[in-house]
Chain A
């Protein structure tokens, strides 16, 4: 599949900021770490994780919509081509009739025109 036909890539949320923030806070309260602090940390981690998962869900939803739009577009084009093919067949039939008529005229027996000469 060519590059331009693919959907947009997923952008995974970066965790560098979160890690830096948590480690800095940990360094500041280096002697006061207890279970409550760990709970706060854990809350922050879980919140970040939920936000990231929601972000990925959003991208997934967007991509699903884009994919269904592509499917609809491709099917519309297919339908258009089918109609164009039918029309082309009709045109070919008519052109063949014209060719036959003109060839008959050239051969000398013209159904449209009767020579009185």
Chain B
């Protein structure tokens, strides 16, 4: 059965060319979550990096600001790059903005590289120092270690790089997916208008059908009155048949034709007195002659 478009209208988008508000909010929730993850990660890394200074508590606020700035840049730069590329693709912005987006991408890569290298360098330094330099009297281990791929700090640095790069790529992909090309948006808008017109035409058809149904419902009462009259006529004729058969049987039982005709006459008189208005419009011959075709009796015919 087809879907009733009046009681359950098809779900149509109110606006084309815009992301729905819910999706918009969800995109920003995702971005904020990724920024938070990066912030936590970078807070640990920068504390490690600056442990020589942070043990004196001299760079607290500075470190927070740097951490927040770097995590913001790691997440928002790919977002901005994706939006710029979309606009260039749609022809809204000129092609020269590609240069800007490439520069932003390079800045993003440079930030990641700098963070990673600094993290590795901090690990090497910490290993060479053999502990906190502020603690005097610590036993100095002699051999200064160089760069090693398998050092735990190096591995941790590359893991952190992976997380940061993943969050940046995710924000790029999200921005790329939520911003449609302008041509597609225009086509969608045309399709939406066509679909709405189709819906309107179907609604016009439904309106005609509903008018027809209303007209039929208004006629229904009149038709029913006619059928009611017919039913009453049928019932009265059935009652007449019963009376006629009863009278016929009386006439057969009673041997005396005179009293029989008297009884029949009395029966008919009573009926006509009791229900003069309920008498159906039957031909008078049908109800007046109680002689049913099964039992024609001779004495009733002259008296009828």
Residues of B in contact with A, size category = 35 or more
A10 touches B242 (CB 8 A): no
Contacts of A91 in B (CB 8 A): 12, 14, 196
* Given known contacts A13-B235, A64-B221, A77-B210, A92 and B242 CB-to-CB distance under 8 angstroms: no
Among B16, B193, B203, B249, point to the contact of A84 (Cβ < 8 A). B203
A88 touches B199 (CB 8 A): yes
Instruction: Give the docked Cα–Cα distance between A115 and B100 (Å).
Output: 14
Residues of A in contact with B, size category = 35 or more
Would you give the shortest CB distance from B196 to chain A, in whole angstroms?
Answer: 5
What total of A-B pairs shows CB separation below 8 Å? 184
A30 touches B253 (CB 8 A): yes
Main secondary structure of the interface of B (DSSP, over half): helix
B53 touches A (CB below 8 Å): no
B186 touches A99 (CB 8 A): yes
A115 touches B246 (CB 8 A): no
B30-38, B39-47, B265-273: which lies at the A interface? B265-273
Instruction: Give the docked Cα–Cα distance between A13 and B236 (Å).
Output: 10
Contacts of B211 in A (CB 8 A): 78
Q: List residues of A whose CB falls within 8 A of some B CB.
A: 1, 5-7, 9-10, 12-15, 18-19, 22-23, 26, 30, 33, 35, 38-39, 41-42, 45-46, 48-49, 52-53, 56, 59-60, 63-64, 67-68, 70-71, 73-75, 77-78, 80-82, 84-85, 88-89, 91-92, 94-96, 98-99, 101-103, 105-106, 108, 110, 113, 115, 117
* Interface pairs A-B: 3 shortest CB-CB: A10-B231, A117-B94, A74-B214
Q: List residues of B whose CB falls within 8 A of some A CB.
A: 5-7, 9, 12, 14-17, 90-94, 96-97, 182-183, 185-186, 189-190, 192-193, 196-197, 199-200, 203-204, 206-207, 210-211, 213-214, 216-218, 220-221, 223-225, 227-228, 230-232, 234-236, 238-239, 241-243, 245-246, 249-250, 253-254, 263, 266-267, 270-271, 274-275, 278
